[in-house]
Structure 1
Amino acid sequence: MTRKLYWEQPYSQDFTAKIVGSDGTRVELDQTLFYPRGGGVSCDTGVLVGVKVVETS
């Protein structure tokens, strides 16, 4: 299960994580600051090592 850093460190802007899964277009991280889309709230966007993040779930 991914550790949800956005609850622990809501004002942080960068973090280090390991890829624990991938299907070619999506990655699963061991921890993340990216808040997912849900309940009418937009998801966070950003960059992972030069690759643009456009949606989180």
Structure 2
Amino acid sequence: MRSLLGAYVLEALGPAEDRRVAGHLARCDACGAAYLEVADAPSLLALLDEEDLR
């Protein structure tokens, strides 16, 4: 499940897989903690410009 967290945070999963990950996060403390570590990634990525990515 952890391998899907990046895609989940970036809203890149399909609807069924998104629901599956959300359901898992609701009942798994370890994955929930891992999710919290990456949850801010989209807002942080928005701060970068093209030069930062080179």
TM class, shorter-chain normalised? under 0.3
Which structure has more relative contact order (CA 8 Å, sep 6+)? It is 2
Instruction: Return the index of the structure with the highest Cα Rg.
Output: 2
Structure with a larger share of its residues in strand: 1
After TM superposition, the score normalised by the length of structure 1 is: 0.26
Structure with a larger share of its residues in helix: 2
